[in-house]
Structures are given as C-alpha cells and as structure tokens.
Amino acid sequence: MKYAPLVWSALWHKPVEAVLTWLTVTVAFALFGLMLGVNATLQAYIDSAPEDILSVYPRFQSARLQVGMREAIERIDGVSATSVMFILNGYHTDPRNAVTVITVDNRGSEATPQFRLQPDHWQRLFSAPDGLYVSERAAARWNLRPGDTFIVNARRPGLRADGTSAFPFRVIDIVPDVPDSDGFLIGNFNYIDQARPPQSQGRDVMFQVLVSDASRALEVSRQIDRLFANSGTPTFSISQRHASQNMANSSGNRALATSIVGAAGLFMILLLIANGIAQSVRERAPQLAVLSAIGFQSRHVMGLILAEVAIPCLAGAILGTFLAWQLAGWPLKFLPGDFAYLPAPTISRSVLLWALAFAALLAVASAVVPLIRVRRMSVVNQLAGLAR
C-alpha cells in the first residue's frame, strides 16, 4: 500500500488522456463480453437441443404436408411417437410484438418431451380447445396470468375461414421454462385446424418424431425422407440437435465472426495502452531515475509501471463485462419482429474470468517495451539531464 500514491499519481499524470483510456478500455471489453456471450449462448443452444427428436418439414415450399402422413411415419422402425404440429406465427396487439405459438395434437404428450409438461397438463390442454400454456419467461414478457385471454393475430392471410386473423387463447397455467429457452407458448392443434377453411384443414403441418435410440436419429430421418421422396409431398427431416448446429453456424460461421470482432477490439486496446504507457515512461524518465537514486530497486520501479498498465486493463474488464451484462438483451428490442426468436447473449461468470485473463495478458504485453526501456535506462544520464 505504501506505493499506492505513486501509482495513483502515474495513472493521473494526464487526466484527460487517462479518462479517455479508461472509457475506451471499458467499451472494448463490453464488446468483447458481448461477443463471448453470443458464442456461449449459441453453444448452450446447441447442447440443449435433443438429438432423439426429429422435425419433419416439407422439402419444398409448395409441398403441403398432411396429417395422414403420420401413419406411414409411425410404421418406420425406430420411431416411438409422432405428433402433428402447426406453428402459428403472429403478433399481439401490434405487428412489432411478434409471437409464436406451437400447437400440437393429442400425441404431443408422447412426442414432445422437451417441454417437460406433466400428463395432467396435456389432459387439460386437449380438453380445452382454446387453452394455452405459457412458460415463465413468456408470461413475464406478456404479463400473463392463468385465466387471462391472449389474442394472437396470424400473419398469414386467409388462415381463418371467417376471414379474420385473430385467435383468442385462454391461459390455462404458467409452466416452468426449459433450459436455455427464451420462453414458449403451447396450444391445441385442433383449435387452429378447425378454424381454417375446410380445404386447408389437416394441411400445412409439420411432424415431430421421437426416436427410440438417439444414435439412430440420422438413419430414421433418412428413412422418412426416402419414404416420401417420390410423392407429391417430399419431406426434409432433421434432428433438433443438427438443426441447432446449422442455425448457429449459418451466415459464415457466427462464432468465428464474433471472435474476430472481439479480437479486433482487444488488439485496439493493446495498441492504445502500449502507446500510452510508452509515452508516459518517456516523459517521466527523470522521475523514475530519481526513484532509483533514492533507493528504489529496479524491480520496484518496474512493478510500478506494470501496476500503471494493469489497473486500467483489469478495471476496464470488470466495468466492461458489467456493461455487457446490462446491455445483453437491449439490441434485441430494436430488431424486426421476425428476429424475436434470437437469444440474448449470456454474460456468465466464465465471461468475466475470460475478460480478466485477457486483461492481464494485455497488460503484460503492453508493458513489455516500457519495462525494457526502464531496465536499460541510465540513471546518471537522466539525473544529469534533470539537473540541466
């Protein structure tokens, strides 16, 4: 602690430059924290996706899968259960308030274990056509409680036979979220299907297939696609784990892109701190020589310089990570409704530890040249120059 006044004086040798440096380091580490948070979220999203659950979609946009295809899928060896699903994409009160309701038929209790609903939950859902289960995060977002009416306006025109677009749901209950989920809403497929025009009922669906052995998921998905390859409704089947990996790695490998952005920010910090501390050592060389002359050993002087570099880096890492944590979900509020499904960056303890580790590494790298200069400094020459 006896060296604290010297370190404090060195840190504020030039107050304006010191403030700008601290702000730059903080912002750069906030960016770094957000980039690490995005990567952590994507990895958690992949790890949480089940491998033994297949999603069966139409291979072409013009193909319209029909409910009757389920019987053929269930006859495939390795299929444990199959549920018909319809995804209702819409909005609540305002087109910017995007909402998605996953509707399932009465086989959902067997084929959709990822929602972790209990048998009595499913029984209540299938006995209430307009019933809706809302997870805790979704309930907090929409301010919903059991018994509330929640109206979803479909984005697809002509979805209802009566020409309207509104689907009123009644909230049955609030259920726990699943890990790494941003919330979900579960409804009754029959409620949506029976409201549609007669010629559209039982069409435009997808299937969720539960396989008995996760190691056979790829084999079963290929069997499903081969079964309908020459029909008028060819399919595309993929496990939810592989679908998550494809999403995370799309657009040119997001993890690599975010890592490059974070590394660029850290490189800018390195240049800024290294240049600043080098200039500070040059300007204060006579003062450092005086310290050596009055008994400070070389390692003490070098320690002061290292502290002068490390404090802004470590403090900036902590403040920047805190700022990233505060801003994690903020950008999603300004994205179009179609991007509402994107998860917010996860700013966890590991992100802070990585930030501190890189801050320490940057401090050492930035101090290398100034430390070498101090070690080679001639105390006599500096004192002679000071005397003149």
Higher pLDDT, 149 or 367: 149
- Report the range out of 92-96, 304-308, 322-326 with the highest average pLDDT: 92-96
Confidence of residue 171 (pLDDT cuts 50, 70, 90): very high
Quote the tokens at residue 81: 């259960």
Q: Which pLDDT does position 105 carry in this prediction? A: 92
Q: Do the beta carbons of residue 343 and residue 49 sit within 8 Å?
A: no
The confidence band for 73, taking pLDDT boundaries of 50, 70 and 90, is: very high
As a whole-number percent, the residues of the chain with pLDDT over 90 amount to 31
Range list of H helices, the chain: 4-11, 15-48, 70-74, 108-111, 119-127, 136-142, 189-195, 217-227, 240-283, 285-293, 298-327, 349-375, 379-387
Which residues, in sequence order, are CB contacts of 5 under 8 Å at separation 6+?
none
pTM: 0.60
Query: pLDDT grade, residue 252 (50/70/90)?
Result: very low
Do 294 and 6 form a contact (C-beta atoms < 8 A)? no
- Identify the pLDDT of residue 340: 46
Which residue, 202, 186, 190, is CA-closest to 150? Answer: 186
- Which value, in Å, is the radius of gyration of the alpha carbons in the chain? 30
State the pLDDT at residue 336. Answer: 46
Residues 6+ apart with CB under 8 A from 23: none
Q: What pLDDT score does 367 carry?
A: 72
Three-state DSSP state, 152: strand
Lowest mean pLDDT among 4-18, 43-57, 224-238: 4-18
pLDDT at residue 178, as a whole number: 83
Lowest mean pLDDT, pick from 208-222, 292-306, 324-338: 324-338
Joined tokens for residue 118: 């209990």
* CA atoms of 388 and 380, how far apart (whole Å): 12
pLDDT range class, residue 262, cuts 50, 70, 90: low
The Cα–Cα gap between 184 and 115 comes to: 9
Q: Coil, strand or helix: which one is 171?
A: strand
- The DSSP call for residue 343 is P
32-41, 43-52, 213-222, 256-265, range with greatest mean pLDDT? 213-222
- Is the separation of the CB atoms in 33 and 324 below 8 Å? yes
Question: Which residues are paired to 152 by β-bridges?
Answer: 167
Residue of 253, 246, 347, 268 lying closest to 36 (CA atoms): 347
Of 269 and 228, the one with more pLDDT:
228
The helix or strand, by DSSP H or E, that contains position 185, with its residue range, turns out to be strand 185-188
| Under 8 Å between Cβ of 362 and 266 | yes
